[in-house]
Amino acid sequence: MAKGKIMTQEELHFLGIKVVYKDMIDNGYEVLNVRKETDVNPQILATKDGKRYFVVVRTTAYPEMGILVPHIAADVLKHGTKHNAICLFASVGIANANGETEEEMAHPVVDGEYYINYKGLQAFPKYS
Low-confidence stretches of the chain (pLDDT < 70) are: 1-2, 126-128
**Residue 117 DSSP one-character state:** E
pLDDT in tens, 37-72: 989 999 999 999 999 999 999 999 999 999 999 999
Q: Give the pLDDT of residue 27.
A: 97
- How many residues appear in the chain? 128
Q: Give the pLDDT of residue 71.
A: 93
Q: Give the pLDDT of residue 30.
A: 98
Q: Give the pLDDT of residue 124.
A: 86
Read off φ and ψ for residue 2, nearest 5 degrees.
-75, 135
Q: Give the pLDDT of residue 4.
A: 84
Class of domain 9-59+69-110: alpha beta
Q: Give the pLDDT of residue 44.
A: 98
